[in-house]
Every structure is written in C-alpha cells, then in structure tokens.
Amino acid sequence: MDAQDPRITVTNPLDSNPVLNPDNPNPEMTVGFTFLGQFLDHDITFDPAPLRPPATTGPNLRNPFLDLDSVYGRGPGEDRLLYDRASEIERPLPAKFLIDFDAPRDLPRTSQQRAIIGDPRNDENVIISQLHLAFLKFHNRVVDWVVARYPGESAEEQFNRAQKLVRWHYQYIVVNQFLQVSLDPTVFEQVRSNSPSLFKVSAKPTLPREFQIAVYRFGHSQIRPGYKVNQGFGAPIFDAAIDPREGDPNDLRGGRRATRRFVEWDTFFDFGTLEVAADPNGPDGPVPIARPKVKRNKRIDPFISSPMFDLPVGPGLVGPGDQLKSLAGRNLERHLLHGLPSGQAIACELGYDPLTQADLAELTDLNFHESTPLWYYVLKEALVQHEGQRLGQVGSRIVAEVFFGLLLSDSASYWSQQPKWEPELPRRDGSVEGDFTMVDLLAFAGVA
C-alpha cells in the first residue's frame, strides 16, 4: 500500500508519486477536505485508550453528535481555560474563546507548547490546528454579530444564540458540502431523502465499528506526502527522522509555535485565487502563467503516502513506546482486533454487488481477494467505481447512514429541528442567500 513517493528533500518537499498518488478527478475535492474530515472525526469520537484483545471497543469521550464539543468543551462554565477572561471581568459580555494576543495566528498554548483546546488531537498537524483556530475565531465573530443584533439579551442568551448559529452553519456545511462531494451521488441522495434505514436513531447513539474502525478512515488515503501551507513554507506532513524536541521542525507536525507555521486557506479551499506559475511549454522555454492557487486532493485509493508508514510520536499519532508506526498497519490490525466482517460480506448485506476477485487480484497471494478487510475494500471500491473521485456504494452508505443518523439523534441539530433551514450569516460576497461553504466560514472568521 506504500505509494513509494519520491524522497522528501529540502528543495522539493512536496513530491509525490505521479502514478500512485495522482490528483483526485473530482473538481470540488480540494486538499482542505482531508482535514475537514479529520476535524469531523474528532468531533464525534475520542477513544484514547489503546485497544488490546479481547476488548473490541472502548469508551467514547466525545458526545457523538456534530455539536462541536471538541471545540466548546463543556462550555464556559466548566472549561474556563478555553475561554477569554474578558467575559468574567467586564460583564455583561458573552463568552468568547481565548486567543493569544501575542500570537493571534496560532492556537493558545502553554509554556510547553501544549495547545489549550478541547481536543488535543486537533494539534496533530499544522493544518488541523489552524482549522481548529478558524472555528475559535468563527465563534468569536458570530458573538460580535449576535451582540450587534440582539443587544437586549443577557450574556448567556447571546452566547447560546451564537453557539447555535455556529453549530448549525457547521452542520449545514457537513451535509451540503462535505458529504455531497465525498459520497456516491445516488447513495447520498437516497439516505438524505429517505432517512437512515440501518443506523438506530437514539438519544445516546453508538457509532458502528464498521464506520469508526474502517470506513471513515478513508481520509487516510488522501493525505499528501507534504503540503505548501503558505507562500513561504512547504514541508512533508510528517518526518519521523526529525528530533522531536526541535522547536520549529521542517515538517508539519503540530505542538509547535513559529511565525511560518500558519495556513493560507486559499490553497486548501477554492476562493478563486490565482497564482503565477511557470509553463514549461512556452515557445522559447518556460513562461509565466496564471493558474488557480487551490490544490486538488489526492484520490481515494489503496495507495498511502509514504510518510504515513513511519509516524512520529505526537498527539493523535503514536505513543513513545508504540512499535507499530505504520498508519495502514494500525488500521488493518484494528480490523482484526474488532473482528469486522469483510467488505464483500457487507456489500451483500446492503444489497450491492461486491467487487470481483479480478478487482482485488493484487490480494490473491494473501488470500484476501475473496474476503477483504473493510478499510482496504472501501478504498479499492472508490477507485473501481469512481476512479478515486469519491467513495463507492458500501463506503458511501455507511458514512451517510451514520452522519444523517447522528443529526437525527441530536434533537438540537438543524436537521432535526428545521431540515430546510437556510444559513443566516453573510456569505463571503456579502449576500445572505445561497449555499454557505467552508470558504464563507473561513472568510467570516477573518482567517482568509
């Protein structure tokens, strides 16, 4: 499964294997969706305990709803460290998140560089930490918007109104952007229109192991070997050879603060920005051309970027004593420890034609071509059915069932209360109509 990407070098840190790690053919699937997907995962599940047999499950320390408890924690009353003290000192003010005055482009941190946030995994790499920061700033801007329009409400009422707006706009993006570009269109529309038929809607829902352990890890296949996060800084996503004590390492691991460690979001989501590049096919050699700055995501397939086979120690990664540092190996081991059914068995159970043995011929020597681990099956299904553009039938059905099931299980979600609700906040162009996307959220937050 190793894509055998070219060796990372200082002069060209973003190289990838052009055959095994090509661009995703979905024009809407830009590189930011990998990290938005990671952010969503951290919002609905958190099991910090290592899995050891015979146990097949662990405690979920997240509220399994799309309610941003990974950002809000238990709220300003119980998790005061996450919030700005101004609301305590200069009452009456609704609570805002803590932003470091001396480093406003980074998460708030302790003197040991630990991020002061509701979920430590959101400091795993620079990109996810910057996305978490964007949501902190989004909430703070929404608070200002609410205060200006509802000046007669109490500070608590204003905070609750702002939190609801943040959550509902976020949930709207999950449904109308993330799921729509990630899933098989027919499966997405069937579950969206008819509601989940397999996921049990409950006040205390349990995430299916097939989703948590296998299917939703499809984003692991989309991680690039490296990223150019801003005009001055591009680096491998992880480089385990770097001394973990280095203060500003030449990779994108989190848990560090330096002036170059920030994200220009118009590379990750499509703001329509153009950049100057060199066209090598000019009549007399390379000539400058204007091209979109946003970068395509990697396709969904069974080929994993090489740095993911040697993960460094870090939050959400591997522990100091963990010998298994391959992300693929860790995923496949969990399939065995949980005793998950094969991809073919699940396809038949869902009423879909399973992939053929010819589709999985590369697994013949391992005798997995007839009974394939679900994680690998979902990646290969995406490649066979959609050229890696989006998930196939099995992957799409399980993801759609879970996300719509969680939204219906949460009595406070927009999907439960007002499924035809339209976002209220102004879009990037100042209008108040039309889709509200990640571009609009990042622009409103003031980070792009």
Q: Identify the pLDDT of residue 244.
A: 82
Burial of residue 59 (CB within 10 Å: 0-12, 13-18, 19+) is: exposed
Q: Are 399 and 369 in contact (CB under 8 A)?
A: no
| Of 262-276, 321-335, 342-356, 388-402, minimum mean pLDDT range | 321-335
Q: Identify the pLDDT of residue 14.
A: 76
In what helix (H) or strand (E) does residue 236 lie, and over which residues does it extend?
strand 233-236
Kindly report, residue by residue over 18-73, the tens digit of the pLDDT. Answer: 999 999 999 999 999 999 999 999 999 877 665 555 555 556 667 889 999 999 99
Q: Identify the pLDDT of residue 52.
A: 57
Kindly report, residue by residue over 224-235, the tens digit of the pLDDT. Answer: 999 999 999 999
Cα(32)–Cα(178) distance, rounded to whole angstroms? 10
Q: Identify the pLDDT of residue 319.
A: 72
Q: Identify the pLDDT of residue 215.
A: 96
Confidence of residue 93 (pLDDT cuts 50, 70, 90): confident
Kindly report, residue by residue over 237-287, the tens digit of the pLDDT. Answer: 988 888 888 999 999 999 999 999 999 999 999 999 999 888 887 888 788
| Of 57-66, 270-279, 303-312, 436-445, minimum mean pLDDT range | 57-66
**Annotation: CATH topology of 32-445:** Myeloperoxidase, subunit C (1.10.640)
Q: Which residue has the higher pLDDT, 130 or 203?
A: 130
DSSP 250: S
Confidence of residue 141 (pLDDT cuts 50, 70, 90): very high
Mean local confidence (pLDDT), 307-312: 86
**The length of the chain, given as a count of residues:** 448
Q: Identify the pLDDT of residue 316.
A: 64
What is 185-196 written as a DSSP string? HHHHHHHHHH--
Residue written as token pair 């509902």: 168
Confidence of residue 379 (pLDDT cuts 50, 70, 90): very high
Q: Are 65 and 406 in contact (CB under 8 A)?
A: yes
Q: Identify the pLDDT of residue 223.
A: 94
Cα(296)–Cα(29) distance, rounded to whole angstroms? 6
Q: Identify the pLDDT of residue 117.
A: 97
Residue 404 pLDDT exceeds 90: yes
- The ranges assigned to domains in the chain are 32-445
Residue 325 pLDDT exceeds 90: no
Q: Identify the pLDDT of residue 12.
A: 61
Q: Kindly tell me the sign of the dihedral angle through the C-alpha atoms of 86, 92, 97, 101.
A: negative
Query: Could you tell me what percent of the chain has a pLDDT over 70?
Result: 94
Q: Identify the pLDDT of residue 394.
A: 98
Q: Identify the pLDDT of residue 48.
A: 63
Residue written as token pair 């979600």: 413
Query: Closest by alpha carbon to 334, among 56, 9, 119?
Result: 56
Confidence of residue 151 (pLDDT cuts 50, 70, 90): very high
Residue written as token pair 């040697």: 310
Confidence of residue 194 (pLDDT cuts 50, 70, 90): very high
Average pLDDT value for the chain: 91
Instruction: Indicate the pTM of the whole model.
Output: 0.93
Residue 10 pLDDT exceeds 60: no
Q: Are 289 and 275 in contact (CB under 8 A)?
A: no
Q: Residue 275: phi, psi to the nearest 5?
A: -130, 160
Q: Which residue has the higher pLDDT, 127 or 288?
A: 127
